[in-house]
Structure formats: C-alpha cells, structure tokens
Structure 1
Amino acid sequence: MPSRPLILGISGASGMIYAVRALKHLLSTDYTIDLVASRASQQVWQQEHGTPMPTNIDQQQDWWRKQADVAAAGKLRCHAWGDVGASIASGSYRARGMIVMPCSMSTVGKLAAGLSSDLLERAADVQVKEGRPLVVVPRETPFSLIHLRNLSALAEAGVRIVPAIPAWYHQPQTIDDLVDFVVARALDQLAIDCVPLRRWKEK
C-alpha cells in the first residue's frame, strides 16, 4: 500500500458510477483516499440515483463507504467542497496525485484557465503547479471546439485525459464491467493496478 494519499475529485458531470467504482476498488486495496465532491455533484447524484447526497461532511464518509460497499478497508477522508483551507488545497500536502472522475466541462474549463472557485478545482490546480499527476475523466458528448481546446491546454500542461469511453475486447457482461474498464485505464495513469481487468490479448 502506498504511503501517500490519492485525491479523488467528483465534479458535476453525469456518471457518478465511475467515482463509486473507483472508490470501491481503491478502498478494497487499502489505499488512503481524500475525497471532495463538488456542489454540482450533489444535484447530479440526486438526478441519477433518486436519493440525496449528504451535505453534512461528517456524514459523508460512512455514506460513500455504503455506496462503494466497502465497510472498513482503506482510509477515507471527506472534505467539504467550499473548504478551500483544507489540507489538499496546499502544495505542502504530499499527495501521490489526483483523479477527477467524472469531470465536467465546466471543471475542465476552469482548470485550463487556472481558476479555482472551490476545493476540488484548487486541489487539482495544486497538482499541476507541483508537477504531480492529475488525471481527468471527462464525461461529455459531443465535444465542442471550446471543450477540445480546453482539454488540449490541460494536456499541454501534463494532465492526463482519459475520456469515459469503454472498450469491448475484454468481453464485458455487465455495466460494472464497462465502468471498471474506464476506471482501470484512468488509474493506470497513476501506476495504480487495483481493478481486476482482462487486458488486451490476456487469456
């Protein structure tokens, strides 16, 4: 298990299942996770799942563990989206990197412009300025020219772009199989291999 924590940002894009599956695999493998969900993610969660996401940060840890179906493994710290004074907002906090999954085009645009209006964006900006790995998983279609230019700006700054595009060569049987492919490829960018996945040409 790595000593440094991984930051998981959940922005207001459709595809909350990607965050849940990532959290499940990471905690089950005893990773330490700092989680921050944006304000907009609360509305998207309600729309996709029909249930509210707790706004009280003290309730979120148990709630996220319940969503991921991981009771005790790993270590999870939840941060309020507006707490720009949290540990993960500082470059002196030695995280191994950050993944934003799913990542909205609003978040992509703000990161590309170097703007930080909440803790998620600030933490992501810190990874870029500190030269640490930042992975974004955009979940949008089609991409406009503005979206593409913003994504290109992030890529030029060293950010890894992993669109939520599943494959079929691993012969997925369930929605979770399709989701896990994207989660695995995103975590690959951080040299994390904790998702059981039949890779290309593996028997």
Structure 2
Amino acid sequence: MRLVVAVTGASGALYAQRLFSFLEHGDHEVHVVISDCARHVAREELEKGSFVIPSRFILHGQRSMEAPFLSGSNPFSAMVIIPCSMGTAGRIAHGVSEGAIGRAADVFLKEGRRLILVPREAPWNLIQARNMVALIEAGAVVIPACPSFYGKPASVLDLVDTVVARVLDHLQIPNDLAVRWKESKS
C-alpha cells in the first residue's frame, strides 16, 4: 500500500508517532509530511522531543511541490492527517490547497482516494462542525481522536492505540492494537 501520513500542529503528536511505529513493521511505502507547527508540538509532547520516523519512510517538506502524491497522475492508496488541526481541516474543506498537506488532501478528494482526518480539538464551534460535514460530504473519513475505554486501557499508549487501531481499520490494515468490543485482546 502506498500511504501519505501528514502531521499538523494540533495536540496529539503521540497519535502520529504510534501510527509511524505500527507502519514501520508493514510492507507499505510511506511518505511523510510534517508541518512546522507539528514539529513545535512534538517538542512539547513527545519524550524524545521530536518524531522518530523510520528510515525507510520518505520525508517531504511542507513547502515542497515535488512529492509524487501531489498529482492525481501518481496513484496512492490513502492519506492520513493525524492529528489534523482545525485550521488544516478548514482549509481542506474549502479547497485552499496551501502547502504539500493541503494540496495532497485536495488531490485525494478529487481523485476519490481515501482521505482520513483525525481531529483532536474539543469542543468544536459551529464553523468547525460545518467544516467536518463538508469534508465528509466530499468523501473524507473523519475519525476524531476519541479513545475508547471498554478495553480497560492501562496506559496512555493503550488509549492512543484505540484511535490508531481505528485509523488502521479504515486503511484496511489488520492490527490487534486495541481490544475490540466484546472480544479479548490477544
């Protein structure tokens, strides 16, 4: 599977880091774009102060227009924006394809490819809620970073993994990161 993982400046850098850690063990071609604001948030939120990106992943700059996924002529399977800031979501919802992340999201929507956004902001105002509706109507999948508790998570990572598991499910990548409803974890 050819994937794009974009990280924006919303709180929740650990969600992106956990997704990177899981995808590192798969046989996927993974392209990564990290916004400047996301790097700042990572300094505040992650133990190592920055993202640990597997060496085989391909890193692209937010200002680059050279990445292969920025054109519909180059087929990719899916794009995940995790976490997705409300500013990024709003720009995508209104077709403002600013920078590599916005341009890629615009391409994925126009080509009918899977686009998954993981917003972490709460609460939402009316504009943000309408932006989410516009994104869903345009074909995006919105998975709010709302962890589940029925698996009795024992750590912050267990909580984070409940959200990452949902993202992987929507990418159709098998995983056992989280307890499923009425099933026990292997």
- TM band (smaller chain): over 0.9
Query: In the TM superposition, what are the counterparts of 1:29-40 in structure 2 within 5 Å?
Result: 29-40=26-37
Backbone CA RMSD of aligned residues: 1.7
Q: Where in structure 2 are there 5+ consecutive unaligned residues?
A: none
SS of structure 2 residue aligned to 1:33: strand
How has the CA–CA distance of structure 1 residues 30 and 195 changed in structure 2, closer, same or farther, with 3 Å as cutoff?
Answer: farther
Q: How many angstroms does 1:195 deviate by?
A: 4.2
Query: In the TM superposition, what are the counterparts of 1:88-167 in structure 2 within 5 Å?
Result: 88-167=69-148
**Paired residues, what number?**
184
TM-score by length of 2: 0.93
What does the per-residue CA deviation read over 1:14-49, in whole Å, with 9 as the maximum and x for residues that have no partner?
000000000111111232211001122122122223
Percent identical residues: 40
Q: How many angstroms does 1:201 deviate by?
A: 0.7
Contact kept, 8 Å, 1:105 with 1:140, in 2: the verdict is yes
Q: How many angstroms does 1:50 deviate by?
A: 7.5
Contact kept, 8 Å, 1:25 with 1:195, in 2: the verdict is no
**Runs of 4+ off more than 6 Å:** none
Contact kept, 8 Å, 2:14 with 2:45, in 1: the verdict is no
SS of structure 2 residue aligned to 1:28: coil
1:188 and 2:169 matched: yes
2:183: which partner in 1?
202
2:158 to 159, 174, 177: 177
Q: How many angstroms does 1:93 deviate by?
A: 1.7
2:13: which partner in 1?
16
Structure with the bigger RCO (C-alpha within 8 Å, sep 6+) is 1
Q: Where in structure 1 are there 5+ consecutive unaligned residues?
A: 54-59, 66-71
Q: How many angstroms does 1:52 deviate by?
A: 5.6
TM-score by length of 1: 0.85
